[in-house]
Structure 1
Amino acid sequence: MTRLRATQLEQALRDAGVRVTRQRAALLRVIAGSEDHPDATELHRRAEAAGAGVSLATVYRTLTTLQTQGVIDKLEFRGEPARWEAADQRHHDHMIDVDTGEVMEFTNDRIERLQAEIAAEMGYEIVHHRLELYVRRRGARSADADF
């Protein structure tokens, strides 16, 4: 799956008129192999660890191009740098641990039904939505007054 995803990412860059250099190809492999929600700095670190020799500016430009091409999604969680994930995943929502920054994916049929019911009651149908739950482990204390 990683190889297929990397090939799709390469094609998206080519479709956008971007040359796929050795450094970009290595970065695309890192992106394709990511099963979490890395930010640009983390992707840069991983690419460097893989010997890609890619600049952080190239990472940002590549991510922006891939987002424009619709193959990755930019996730902007409150107080966090933008994170990225593949756009071809089935629908899911996110829980963000406000103390650790961990991002967890989840699906819940009851939440999906309730959202659809609420929209219908108001005369609408949902065409797209994104649900983010900002969470803290029960009993945990934090100095963050915003939560």
Structure 2
Amino acid sequence: MSVPDRDQLYQRLTKAGLRATQQRLGILEALLTLPGHPTAEQVFRSVRPANPTISLGTVYKALDSFVAAGLLKRVADADGTRRRYDTDCTNHHHLVCQDTQEIIDYCDPKLDQLLQEFFASRGFEHFQPHSFSLHITGVRK
């Protein structure tokens, strides 16, 4: 995946209603460059060389604002203790390896259809699901 240039990153932030500060631009660029589903600490280590005065707290605040603006999804690791971040905001599921903490994106329209049918058959009167995101924990073979 190619990383958008700074103008594209700027547009992405402003379109989401966020100020495009140099720190936010660097954080967003790191998120799009780092593999997998990085932690805030991994993002911090990635942006720190170019922004030596940035704090881990600033990174957390930026990530929280990105989640609130719909630019990211927050994902828990296998034991639920560390927040990880996903730049893919489309509907999909996550397979989480308990041994390695690896998070694998998983898309399956048939599973989504089964979940829709399940909820429809249960007759939830005050709740209509429109998307699903399962967090499936296991061990990679």
TM-score, normalised to structure 2's length? 0.78
- 1:67 lines up with 2:54 in the alignment: no
Aligned counterparts of 2:114 and 2:32: Cα–Cα separation in 1? 33
Aligned counterparts of 2:10 and 2:34: Cα–Cα separation in 1? 15
Query: C-alpha offsets along residues 83-136 of structure 1, whole Å, 9 cap, x if unaligned?
Result: 11125x432100000011000011123311211111111125421321011011
- 1:55 lines up with 2:58 in the alignment: no
RMSD across aligned positions (CA): 2.4
- Give 2:86's aligned residue: 85
Distance 1:20 1:75, change over 3 A: same
- Give 1:20's aligned residue: 21
SS at match of 1:95: strand
- Give 2:45's aligned residue: 45
Query: C-alpha offsets along residues 12-34 of structure 1, whole Å, 9 cap, x if unaligned?
Result: 57x34x4603x332222112323
Aligned counterparts of 1:117 and 1:38: Cα–Cα separation in 2? 33
Q: Equivalent of 1:134, from 134, 137, 140?
A: 137
Letter in 2 for 1:82: R
Aligned counterparts of 1:10 and 1:35: Cα–Cα separation in 2? 21
Distance 1:7 1:35, change over 3 A: farther
- Give 1:122's aligned residue: 122
Identity among equivalent pairs (%): 21
The answer on whether the counterparts of 2:10 and 2:25 sit within 8 Å (CA) in structure 1 is no
How far the C-alpha of 1:37 sits from its partner, in A, is 0.5
Distance 1:101 1:85, change over 3 A: same
How far the C-alpha of 1:68 sits from its partner, in A, is 1.7
Query: C-alpha offsets along residues 58-87 of structure 1, whole Å, 9 cap, x if unaligned?
Result: 101111111122211111243331111125
- Give 1:30's aligned residue: 30
Letter in 1 for 2:14: Q
Distance 1:103 1:110, change over 3 A: same
Aligned counterparts of 1:35 and 1:11: Cα–Cα separation in 2? 25
